[in-house]
């Protein structure tokens, strides 16, 4: 196990720069998730960490060794690929033992370590099978087994769950997290799924267009997104954004589209009349008499909660209620955002305005 330092790393393909100076400190034993929409550079960064891509500038160190010019096999990392990259012509045991075989480990040693990893991952009965005889979840576990067997400094995961069906994905999520709690190996995990990021990470790094938008614990990102991008990316259903202006006439309010009045706890200094974006999470709406008038469009019950799509000031918003309201399309209700949980972003820069 060891820490990983990514310092001002840039990556260009020809003249096209895809990573614009990324700095991410990763502590020993941490589970870090790089999350962002496709094309944000997260996979490229992971591949640079693995040594599969060159580093254009900046440094990456594993432990206290700068690995920019270190061969992949000397970096002591193990990677789990999105398509698992299992060797189709080798049995599960051979797949898992391949790296040890290449390092000329004795067959006793290989057997012992493969067996141990197989026990951890409940793969023992499958050791003589070929990858094509395994289900998606089992293949996924073999891919992890291959990583565990090596006992590396750092685990790298490149969207490992995206080829699984929804139910299995949830199960594997827990399994990976449990595995990390058990082995405590530093892990860097790439995904585009913010729920995976939220549920698994010690630290989330939100990336967008080759820069780090924000780093922090899952709840920090949820409670205090630095900017509108992170606010919209983290949380499901996504945060509602309403454009308008801050009004301070004794009491701070937000004037939304078509003059809708929305509550603010406090207004930032000197913000009267400033154009801004009002962000409120679907789960932070309540039905209240002093709420903004809304017309219900669609109601989607999921059992545990009900998602309500409604129009506020002509803009569509989503609200989620855990209590069971009897709504019908066309109903007029009054939706009130919780003022203490409201986010305010600068209209031009997208930066967070309120504390």
Partner 1 sequence: MADVAIPRAKPQMTEAGAWAQLKHNRNWLGFWFMVPAMVFLIFFLAYPLGLGIWLSFTDTRIGRVGHFIAFENYEWLWDDSIFWLSVFNTLLYTFVASAIKFGIGLYLALLLNEHMPFKAMLRAMVLIPFIVPTVLSALAFWWIFDSQFSIISWSLKHLGLINQNINFLGDTTWARICVIFANIWRGVPFVAITLLAGLQTVSPSLYEAATLDGATRWQNFRYITYPLLTPIIAVVMTFSVLFTFTDFQLIWAMTRGGPVNATHLMATLSYQRAIIAGQLGEGAAISSAMIPFLLAAIMVSWFGLQRRKWQQGESND
**Counting contacts by CB under 8 A, is residue 89 touching partner 1?**
yes
Among 38, 64, 102, 259, binds partner 1 (CB under 8 A): 102
65 or 274, CB closer to partner 1? 65
C-alpha–C-alpha distance, residues 314 and 323, integer Å: 25
**Counting contacts by CB under 8 A, is residue 278 touching partner 1?**
no
**Counting contacts by CB under 8 A, is residue 79 touching partner 1?**
yes
Window 123-152: residues binding partner 1 (CB under 8 A): 129-133, 146, 150
**Counting contacts by CB under 8 A, is residue 78 touching partner 1?**
yes
By the 8 A CB rule, do 76 and 49 touch?
no
Q: Select the span of 77-85, 201-209, 253-261, 335-343 touching partner 1 (CB under 8 A).
A: 77-85
How far is residue 41 CA from its own chain's centroid?
A: 13
10 or 129, CB closer to partner 1? 129
Count, residues near partner 1 per rule CB under 8 A? 27
**Counting contacts by CB under 8 A, is residue 206 touching partner 1?**
no
93 or 230, CB closer to partner 1? 93
**Counting contacts by CB under 8 A, is residue 73 touching partner 1?**
yes
101 or 184, CB closer to partner 1? 101
C-alpha–C-alpha distance, residues 48 and 8, integer Å: 13
142 or 252, CB closer to partner 1? 142
**Counting contacts by CB under 8 A, is residue 309 touching partner 1?**
no
Give the DSSP letter string of 152-206.
-SEEEEESTTTTS-HHHHHHHHHHHHHHHHHH--EEEEEES-HHHHHHH-SEEEE
146 or 208, CB closer to partner 1? 146
By the 8 A CB rule, do 255 and 244 touch?
yes
**Counting contacts by CB under 8 A, is residue 90 touching partner 1?**
yes
Q: Select the span of 81-89, 134-142, 236-244, 290-298 touching partner 1 (CB under 8 A).
A: 81-89
Burial (0-12, 13-18, 19+ Cβ within 10 Å), 18 = middle
Among 85, 288, 297, 341, binds partner 1 (CB under 8 A): 85
Positive or negative, the CA dihedral 256, 311, 346, 338 is positive
**Closest listed residue to residue 315, CA positions, set 279, 287, 284:** 279
By the 8 A CB rule, do 175 and 145 touch?
no
Burial (0-12, 13-18, 19+ Cβ within 10 Å), 239 = buried
By the 8 A CB rule, do 64 and 4 touch?
no
**Counting contacts by CB under 8 A, is residue 264 touching partner 1?**
no
127 or 344, CB closer to partner 1? 127
52 or 171, CB closer to partner 1? 52
The residue length of the chain stands at 355
**Counting contacts by CB under 8 A, is residue 87 touching partner 1?**
yes
**Counting contacts by CB under 8 A, is residue 88 touching partner 1?**
yes
- DSSP bridge pairs for 309: 298, 318
Among 12, 13, 23, 52, binds partner 1 (CB under 8 A): 52
Spell 42-64 as b/e; 16+ CB within 10 A means b: bbbbbbbbbbebebeebebbbbe
Binding residues for partner 1, per CB under 8 A?
Answer: 50-52, 72-73, 77-79, 81-83, 85, 87-90, 98-99, 102-103, 129-133, 146, 150
């Amino acid at each position: 196990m060891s820490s990983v330092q990514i310092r001002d790393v840039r990556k260009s393909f020809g003249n096209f720069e895809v990573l614009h100076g990324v700095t991410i400190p990763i502590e020993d034993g941490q589970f870090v998730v790089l999350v962002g929409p496709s094309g944000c550079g997260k996979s490229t960064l992971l591949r640079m960490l693995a040594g599969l891509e060159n580093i254009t500038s900046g440094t990456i160190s594993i432990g206290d060794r700068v690995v920019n010019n270190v061969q992949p096999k000397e970096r002591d990392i193990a990677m789990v690929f999105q398509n698992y990259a299992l060797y189709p012509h080798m049995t599960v045991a051979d797949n898992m033992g391949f790296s040890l075989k290449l390092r000329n480990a004795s067959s006793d040693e290989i057997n012992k370590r493969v067996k141990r990893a197989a026990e951890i991952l409940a793969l023992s009965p499958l050791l003589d099978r070929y990858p094509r005889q395994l289900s998606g979840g089992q293949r996924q576990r073999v891919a992890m087994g291959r990583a565990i067997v090596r006992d590396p400094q750092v685990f790298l995961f490149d969207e490992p769950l995206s080829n699984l069906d929804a139910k299995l994905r949830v199960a594997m999520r827990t399994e990976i997290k449990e595995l990390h709690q058990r082995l405590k190996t530093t892990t860097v995990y790439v995904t585009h799924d913010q729920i995976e990021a939220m549920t698994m990470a010690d630290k989330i790094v939100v990336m967008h267009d080759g820069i780090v938008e924000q780093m922090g614990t899952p709840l920090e990102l949820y409670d205090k997104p630095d900017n509108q991008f992170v606010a919209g990316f983290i949380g499901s259903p996504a945060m509602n954004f309403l454009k308008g202006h801050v009004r301070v006439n004794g009491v701070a309010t937000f004037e939304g589209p078509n003059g809708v009045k929305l509550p603010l706890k406090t207004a930032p200094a000197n913000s009267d009349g400033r154009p801004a974006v009002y962000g409120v999470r679907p789960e932070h709406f309540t039905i209240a008499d002093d709420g903004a008038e809304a017309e219900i469009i669609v109601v989607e019950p999921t059992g545990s909660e009900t998602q309500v799509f409604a129009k506020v000031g002509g803009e569509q918003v989503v609200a989620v209620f855990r209590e069971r309201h009897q709504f019908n399309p066309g109903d007029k209700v009054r939706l009130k955002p919780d003022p203490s949980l409201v986010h305010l972003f600068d209209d031009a820069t997208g930066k967070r305005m309120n504390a």
